Amino acid sequence: MECPNCHQNASRVIDSRPSDENRAIRRRRECENCCFRFTTFERVETAPLLVVKNDGTREPFSRKKILHGVMAAGQKRPISSEQFEQLVVRVE
């Protein structure tokens, strides 16, 4: 982690704790070069799900499209809408 004071890459973690309702980690750091203390927040980056089509193109995953397709395929079958929802959740 780069120090905001001297711009060196050597720092050590002094304290860590959950923050933002456990969606981030707050870390208190100290630069090993100039002893400046600073705080960083680490968050998980979520990559969007992509669907690879037969022709190689990619498009964002759409839960709505999956549900629509499954419901069209099972239209004349004795399947409840709750079962369709459960299937889409498992696929997702």
* Residues forming a β-bridge with 13: 29
Whether 33 and 63 share a structural domain = no
Work out the pLDDT band at 16, boundaries 50, 70, 90.
very high
Whether 60 and 75 share a structural domain = yes
pLDDT at 88: 87
Question: Contact at 8 Å (CB) between 10 and 32?
Answer: yes
Q: Which residues of 32-63 are buried (b: 16+ CB within 10 A; e: fewer)?
A: eeeeeeeeeeeeeeeeeeeeeeeeeeeeeeee
Average pLDDT of the residues in 21-34: 92
Query: Residues 35-85: pLDDT tens digits?
Result: 999 999 999 888 888 889 999 999 998 889 989 998 899 888 898 888 988
- Which contiguous run of DSSP H or E holds residue 50? strand 50-52
| 14 Cβ neighbours under 8 A, 6+ residues apart | 28, 29, 30, 37
Work out the pLDDT band at 1, boundaries 50, 70, 90.
confident
User: Is the whole model's pTM more than 0.85, yes or no?
Assistant: no
Whether 31 and 62 share a structural domain = no
Name the residue range of residue 22's domain.
11-43
If one counts the domains in the chain, the total is: 2
Q: Is residue 66 part of a domain?
A: yes
Q: Is residue 30 part of a domain?
A: yes
